[in-house]
Every structure is written in structure tokens, then in C-alpha cells.
């Protein structure tokens, strides 16, 4: 009995080792059976003079194909029965093994267990709420490149990932370019599994900063890594982790911290309707984008010459060595090897086609200086990012820089820690800071707020980088609908600025009101993809998101040119340049335009086209203040 148990134990161990082990066992079993049949033949049948080996070979092939001997004697009948049973058993086992192996292989592929052998693919490490936006931008950036695939790896079940991605990207041409794999993003075995060294770009997309930093270290510090530099892009959610991530990533990574930048966009959009649309236009792959362009014919010329030399592109700055200069002085000379920073449709559309128009033929219509009026506002910051008030504090700090004495900022949420926040802000500001406590989802509470004409209400999303996007947008929508209804029934004309995370929900939020929508997560993800596609843009976006240097402002067109008759955009560029600014577009003030999803914003217009501007129309410029 012990011998039989050992044999069974050996068989059990062999069977779980896979296809090859089972094949060996079958072969061994077949050999033993054929040896037994050959022995019967040699002892009882003896039809010929063949030796044992020849007899063995004949019966071996008969057993494999399930053949029989054409003789009716009892020994032959017994041998035929054994051959038939052996053939049936063998064929059924082999068919079962092959079928099961194919099924296991298909299931293994579906579960992301096959090695990636792509070249120049884009890799996303980590599955977070913004992954669909990243993939959407990557697909858009490479829609003309049929051989470019997106590989995403996370510890999430790849079958679930694939099903979710097929739901988000229902078109076959899109989801066929997305490959999901399961594995740890900080395990070098799995990183090699997705051919990380052959990737065109790598975007680390974790919500947890520690996972991001570990993934950075696993790639950069791998002793078996490639010699060339990686194109690594990632974002950090906490400022305290930003410096550490940059040290680990070194010169081959672009680590961005968006906290203050998004807060500044929130703050400025409260005061400048349409600003978020300008940022979105600059960073996504729809419409015009940012490109660096070298034009040797402009060496020794001034920045003014460069601005006016392009009709269908907008020059906004210079790349001088490692330095990014946005909105240089109009009289600055362009040095040899300087590159122009251009807003243009594609990398080959920055064509010097404005020379014939670069004449100041409207000098009498240019207004050189305008006195600035004090800006006194009352701004309500409604809601907060889930679990913290830090973002509301940064927005408040940004607003204080732009508001004049007499303005007021009011926090509206149910967090008692507002008291400490207000105390901290009030110690350094002359702007009135206060708080109203309550549930922003309660209609009775919102009715009691007493909003007035020209008040500005910023609705913050509860999204914190990790919670559910759709649920956060639903909460925001609930508050927005109530405020719109209050606005309609009270007849008060207050301004609503709403933060939306998923751009697909923007059409649900849209109304005929002059509202603003902050697609904050779209801006973040689009910026990451832009850098992944063109690493040279990393420094530009760092400069753009910095609190130092030029920022985007909306100014009345009537403060720049005479609007009594149609005028071309060259004249607006010239007038802006005389004020130390760079014009990049305009915003129309008609209600139909303002209530559209782009808020009437037009970036990079044809400079030669003449337009009749209205009193409320705005010019969009880069300026120092």
C-alpha cells in the first residue's frame, strides 16, 4: 500500500506541473502498455519472425492511431481490445489536454500574463480615477500612428481593466490599442515584463505619492536598465513629497506638483471668466498646441518682429539654452540658437507667413495706456476637497493677491477647522475672511445664504485624487442645480464657477447661463501627456505653473485699440507689446458665446483677419500683473 501511495503522490505532483509533465506521463504509460502487448504477441501469437523491437514499434503506432489486427483468434481479439481502449483513452486525454491548454492560454492572456514585446509604446503605471483621461489624450495624440499602443499595468484584475476600458472606449480602433497587464509597478520583474526599456514614454499614474516614488526608484535605479535616458512623467499630490520625487527621478524624469497651479487657475477663473478654457486649449491635443520652433531668419531681430512675423501662429516666448522666457520684452533681441515658443496647430504649421502684414498701419487706433480700477469682490468658496481644507486655503491666498481692499472671501462648508484657517489668513491680509457653516447639499441652507448680484460662487469638487470621480461630479452637480434654481427664482445675477473632474460630464452641467467650468483633472492629465509626447515641454509647463513670471489675463479690448470699426489682430498684438504684454487671443462677450463650453474663447486667431469688437469683448494676454 505504501508503494501505491507513493506512486499516486508522484502522479499528483506531476499532473500539477502542466502540459509537459502530463505528456511525459502519457508517453510512459503508452510505452508500458505497448511493451505488455508486444510481450503477449511474442508469447501467444507469433505471426512472424520479427524481433521484439519491431513488434513493439508496430504495436506502438497502432496504439497511437487506434488501429487493430485483422484476425479473429482469441489472442488477437484481446490485443485489439487493448489497442482500442488505449487509442480511445490516449486520444481523449490528448484532446482534453490541448483544449484545456488553449483555454488556460486564452485566460492567461486575458489576465495579462503574456510578456509585452512592443517597441515605442506608451506605458501607464497605475490605475487611478484619471487613467481614462490619460489614455484618451494619448490616443488622440497618436491617432495617425497605427503602430502606437498604450500599455497599462496595475495590480487590478486586467479583465476588469479591459472591460472598463472597452466601456469607456467603445470604438474598436481605440480599445484595440490598449493593452492591460497585472503586476506591481515597483517590481523590476513586472517592469521588464512590459518592456519598460523599449517604451517611448512612461507615465506614473498613482494617487499615492509613496507608490509613485517607489515606482520611480524601481525604474531609474535598476542595475539592468538601459543606458539611454527614460522619458518619465508623473505628478505628486503633496508638496512635502515633491523634492524627494525630483531627487529620485533626476534629469530623466519630469515631476510636476499641480496643487498651487490648479488653485491659481481656480482663483483667477473666479475673477476672469474663461481662463480655464485657455489653459485647456494650451495643454490638450484638440486644436492648437505648444511647440518649440527655430527660425534662423529672425536671429538678431526683436521679439516684436517675431510676434508680428506669424499670421497663423502665436509667438509667446523664447527658449534660450535651459531658460524658458514667457512674454519677454518687445525690444529683446533674438540670439543665435534661440527657439520660439509658438501656439500653433501642429509642429509643421509654425510658418513665417505674417511678414507682409507686419506693419503698424493702425497706429492711430492703438491705445497705449489705461488706468486700472480697484477690484472689489465678494467670493464664496463652496465646499472643499474631501478630508482637507488645504486647497481652499491656497485658493484664498491666490485670491488675496488679486483683490483690492474692501473685498471679502467667505468659506462655505461643514468643517469646523475653518476657524483656524481664517485666523491664519487674517493675520497676513487686509481682505475680509469669514466662514458660514452648513451642508451645501441642503436646499434650505443654500436658500438662507442670501447671494447678491455680482457675487462670485466657486463650487469646489470633493475630489481628492483617490475618491470616485462620478460620485464627486454628482455632488457638484447637485449643488450647482440648486444654486441655478435659486438664481432663477431670486432674479439675482451672481456668477457660478464649477469644478468638474470628468470632461464627459461637462455637457450635463452646461446651461445657457454665463457659467465657468473648471476641468481641473483634464488639465492635469493633458499636461502629463503633452510632456510624455514632447519632453521639451516639461520646463515650459513648470514655468507656466510657477507663481513667478508671466500669467494669463483678460483685458477689455477697448483699452488696447479703437473698436469703432473692424481691426486686425496685429494691432492688438502691437498694443499689448507696448504695454509689456503678449496677446494670444480674445474672448467674445455675446451671451451665446459666453454660455458655450469654451466660454467664447478664441486662442491663436489669424492676425490678418479684421473683426469688429464689442465693448465687452476681452483680449487674452500673458502679462506680469
Q: What is the 3-state secondary structure (H, E, C) of 446-505?
A: HHCCCCCCCCEEEECCCCCCCCCHHHHHHHHHHHHHHHHHHHHHHCCCCEEEEEECCHHH
Grid cell 464664496 is found at: 380
Specify the pLDDT at position 387.
53
Q: Out of 65-74, 207-216, 332-341, 474-483, which region has the weakest mean confidence (pLDDT)? A: 65-74
Q: How far apart are CA 494 and CA 511, in angstroms?
A: 15
- Pairing type for strands 495-500 and 378-382 reads unpaired
| Confidence category of residue 43, pLDDT binned at 50, 70, 90 | low
| Residue range 392-408, pLDDT digits in tens | 778 888 888 888 888 89
Segment 589-617 shows an average pLDDT of 82
Most confident of 145-154, 333-342, 389-398: 333-342
- The helix (H) or strand (E) run that includes residue 112 is none
Express as a percent the part of the chain with pLDDT over 70. Answer: 79
Specify the pLDDT at position 85.
73
| Confidence category of residue 386, pLDDT binned at 50, 70, 90 | low
Nearby residues of 287 by Cβ (< 8 Å), 6 or more positions away: 281, 345, 603
Specify the pLDDT at position 541.
82
3-state SS class at 134:
helix
Specify the pLDDT at position 213.
93
Quote the pTM value: 0.74
Q: Out of 8-12, 205-209, 293-297, 452-456, which region has the weakest mean confidence (pLDDT)? A: 8-12
Segment 412-434 shows an average pLDDT of 76
- Say yes or no to pLDDT of 579 above 50: yes
Specify the pLDDT at position 357.
44
Q: Is the Cβ–Cβ distance between 199 and 227 less than 8 Å?
A: no
- Say yes or no to pLDDT of 212 above 60: yes
Specify the pLDDT at position 445.
92
- Can you read off the three cell numbers belonging to residue 248? 529620485
Q: How far apart are CA 133 and CA 399, in angstroms?
A: 29
Q: Is the Cβ–Cβ distance between 180 and 152 less than 8 Å?
A: yes
Segment 252-260 shows an average pLDDT of 81
- Say yes or no to pLDDT of 460 above 60: yes
Q: Out of 45-59, 153-167, 293-307, 521-535, which region has the weakest mean confidence (pLDDT)? A: 45-59
- Say yes or no to pLDDT of 317 above 90: yes
- Say yes or no to pLDDT of 380 above 70: yes
Segment 95-118 shows an average pLDDT of 69
| Confidence category of residue 4, pLDDT binned at 50, 70, 90 | low
Q: Is the Cβ–Cβ distance between 583 and 572 less than 8 Å?
A: yes
Specify the pLDDT at position 423.
76
Instruction: Give the alpha-carbon dihedral of 436, 438, 441, 442, to 10 degrees.
Output: -110
Specify the pLDDT at position 218.
93
Strand-pairing partners, residue 364, are none
Q: What phi and psi values does residue 152 have, to the nearest 5 degrees?
A: -120, 130
Q: How far apart are CA 239 and CA 411, in angstroms?
A: 23
Segment 341-348 shows an average pLDDT of 87
Q: Is the Cβ–Cβ distance between 128 and 155 less than 8 Å?
A: no
Q: How far apart are CA 222 and CA 216, in angstroms?
A: 10
Q: Out of 232-236, 361-365, 397-401, 408-412, which region has the weakest mean confidence (pLDDT)? A: 361-365
- Residues 39-64 as b or e (16 or more Cβ within 10 Å = b): ebbeeebeeeeeeeeebbebbbebbb
- Say yes or no to pLDDT of 319 above 50: yes
Q: Out of 286-300, 502-516, 521-535, which region has the weakest mean confidence (pLDDT)? A: 502-516
| Confidence category of residue 421, pLDDT binned at 50, 70, 90 | confident
| Confidence category of residue 358, pLDDT binned at 50, 70, 90 | very low
- Say yes or no to pLDDT of 28 above 60: yes
Segment 283-311 shows an average pLDDT of 89
Report the chain's terminal Cα–Cα distance, integer Å. Answer: 92
Specify the pLDDT at position 331.
92
Q: What phi and psi values does residue 168 have, to the nearest 5 degrees?
A: -75, -40
Amino acid at each position: 500500500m505504501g508503494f501505491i501511495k507513493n506512486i499516486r503522490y508522484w502522479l499528483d505532483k506531476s499532473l500539477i506541473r502542466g502540459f509537459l509533465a502530463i505528456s511525459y506521463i502519457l508517453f510512459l504509460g503508452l510505452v508500458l502498455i505497448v511493451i505488455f502487448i508486444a510481450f503477449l504477441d511474442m508469447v501467444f501469437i507469433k505471426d512472424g519472425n520479427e524481433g521484439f523491437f519491431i513488434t513493439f514499434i508496430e504495436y506502438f503506432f497502432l496504439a497511437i492511431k487506434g488501429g487493430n489486427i485483422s484476425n479473429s483468434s482469441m489472442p488477437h481479439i484481446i490485443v485489439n481490445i487493448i489497442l482500442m481502449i488505449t487509442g480511445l483513452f490516449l486520444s481523449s486525454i490528448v484532446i482534453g489536454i490541448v483544449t484545456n491548454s488553449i483555454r488556460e492560454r486564452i485566460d492567461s492572456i486575458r489576465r495579462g500574463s503574456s510578456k509585452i514585446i512592443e517597441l515605442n509604446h506608451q506605458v501607464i503605471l497605475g490605475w487611478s480615477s484619471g487613467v481614462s483621461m490619460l489614455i484618451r489624450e494619448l490616443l488622440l495624440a497618436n491617432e495617425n500612428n497605427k503602430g502606437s499602443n498604450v500599455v497599462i499595468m496595475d495590480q487590478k484584475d486586467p479583465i476588469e481593466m479591459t472591460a472598463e476600458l472597452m466601456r469607456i472606449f467603445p470604438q474598436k480602433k481605440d480599445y484595440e490599442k490598449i493593452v492591460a497587464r497585472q503586476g506591481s509597478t515597483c517590481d523590476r520583474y513586472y517592469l521588464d515584463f512590459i518592456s519598460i526599456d523599449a517604451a517611448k514614454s512612461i507615465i506614473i499614474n498613482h494617487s499615492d505619492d509613496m507608490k509613485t516614488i517607489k515606482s520611480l526608484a524601481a525604474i531609474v535605479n535598476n542595475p539592468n536598465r538601459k543606458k539611454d535616458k527614460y522619458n518619465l512623467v508623473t505628478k505628486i499630490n503633496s508638496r512635502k513629497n515633491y523634492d524627494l520625487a525630483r531627487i529620485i527621478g533626476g534629469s530623466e524624469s519630469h515631476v510636476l506638483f499641480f496643487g498651487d497651479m490648479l488653485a491659481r487657475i481656480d482663483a483667477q477663473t473666479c475673477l476672469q471668466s474663461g481662463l480655464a478654457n485657455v489653459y485647456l486649449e494650451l495643454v490638450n491635443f484638440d486644436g492648437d498646441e505648444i511647440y518649440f520652433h527655430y527660425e534662423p531668419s529672425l536671429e538678431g531681430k526683436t521679439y516684436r518682429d517675431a510676434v508680428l512675423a506669424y499670421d497663423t501662429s502665436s509667438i509667446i516666448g523664447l527658449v534660450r539654452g535651459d531658460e524658458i522666457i514667457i512674454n519677454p520684452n518687445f525690444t529683446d533681441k533674438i540670439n543665435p540658437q534661440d527657439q520660439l515658443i509658438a501656439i500653433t496647430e501642429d509642429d509643421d504649421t509654425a510658418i513665417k507667413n505674417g511678414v507682409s502684414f507686419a506693419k503698424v498701419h493702425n497706429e492711430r487706433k492703438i491705445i497705449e495706456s489705461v488706468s486700472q480700477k480697484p477690484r472689489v469682490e465678494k467670493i464664496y468658496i463652496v465646499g472643499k476637497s474631501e478630508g482637507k481644507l488645504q486647497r481652499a486655503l491656497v485658493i484664498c491666498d491666490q485670491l488675496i493677491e488679486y483683490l483690492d481692499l474692501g473685498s471679502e472671501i467667505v468659506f462655505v462648508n461643514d468643517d469646523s477647522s475653518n476657524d483656524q484657517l481664517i485666523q491664519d489668513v487674517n493675520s497676513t491680509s487686509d481682505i475680509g475672511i469669514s466662514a458660514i457653516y452648513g451642508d451645501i447639499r441642503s436646499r434650505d441652507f443654500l436658500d438662507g445664504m442670501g447671494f447678491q448680484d455680482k457675487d462670485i460662487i466657486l463650487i469646489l469638487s470633493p475630489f481628492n485624487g483617490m475618491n470616485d470621480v462620478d460620485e464627486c461630479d454628482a455632488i457638484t452637480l447637485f449643488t450647482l442645480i440648486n444654486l441655478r434654481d435659486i438664481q432663477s427664482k431670486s432674479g439675482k445675477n451672481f456668477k457660478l464657477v464649477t469644478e468638474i473632474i470628468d470632461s464627459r460630464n461637462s455637457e450635463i452641467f452646461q446651461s445657457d447661463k454665463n457659467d465657468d467650468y473648471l476641468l481641473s483633472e483634464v488639465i492635469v492629465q493633458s499636461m502629463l501627456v503633452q510632456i510624455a509626447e514632447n519632453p521639451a515641454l516639461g520646463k515650459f509647463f513648470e514655468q507656466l505653473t510657477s507663481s513667478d513670471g508671466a500669467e494669463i489675463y483678460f483685458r477689455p479690448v477697448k483699452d488696447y485699440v479703437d473698436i469703432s470699426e473692424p481691426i486686425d489682430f496685429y494691432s492688438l498684438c502691437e498694443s499689448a507689446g507696448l504695454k509689456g504684454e503678449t496677446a494670444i487671443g480674445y474672448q467674445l462677450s455675446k451671451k451665446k458665446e459666453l454660455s458655450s463650453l469654451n466660454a467664447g474663447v478664441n486662442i491663436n486667431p489669424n492676425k490678418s483677419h479684421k473683426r469688429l469688437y464689442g465693448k465687452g469683448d476681452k483680449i487674452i494676454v500673458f502679462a506680469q500683473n
